[in-house]
Amino acid sequence: MTNSSYIQLVSVQLKEGVDEKTLLETSDAFQRAFVSKQQGVLKRILMRAKHGGYADLVFFESKEAADRVAAAERTSKECHQFFEIFQPPNEALPHMGVLSFEPLKTYE
C-alpha cells in the first residue's frame, strides 16, 4: 500500500538548564498555538531518545503541506519560542538536521 503522506524527523538537544518538564510545557503550547492550526498536519509525536536527546516526528498530508508549514514557521512567534529551548542545529548538516521521508510502502 502506498500513500502520498510526507514525514519529517528532527533530532534535537535541549539547551543547558532546560529540563524535560519545560520541554513538555513548551511543546504543548506550540501544539495548541501553532501546529493544531496548520492545515495538512496529520500527527506529531515528541519522542525521547534512549541515550539522551529528543526528536519531533511530524506526519503531513503531502510534501506541499510540509512546505507550507515550514514557510509559516519562519514568521511564527510560537515556533520561535519552541525552537528557543533547543541547542542550535548544526549548520553543516544538510537541511539543518531535518530528515524528510516519503513513504514507500506501509504495512499494517
Q: Is the pLDDT of residue 92 over 80?
A: no
As a whole number of Å, the end-to-end CA separation of the chain is: 9
Nearest to 83 by CA among 56, 58, 49, 52: 56
Domains and CATH numbers, the chain: 6-101 (3.30.70.100)
Instruction: Give me 49's grid cell.
Output: 531518545
pLDDT at 2: 44
- The model's pLDDT over 19-37, given as tens digits with 9 standing for 90+, comes to 999 999 999 999 999 999 9
Q: Is the pLDDT of residue 61 over 70?
A: yes
pLDDT at 1: 38
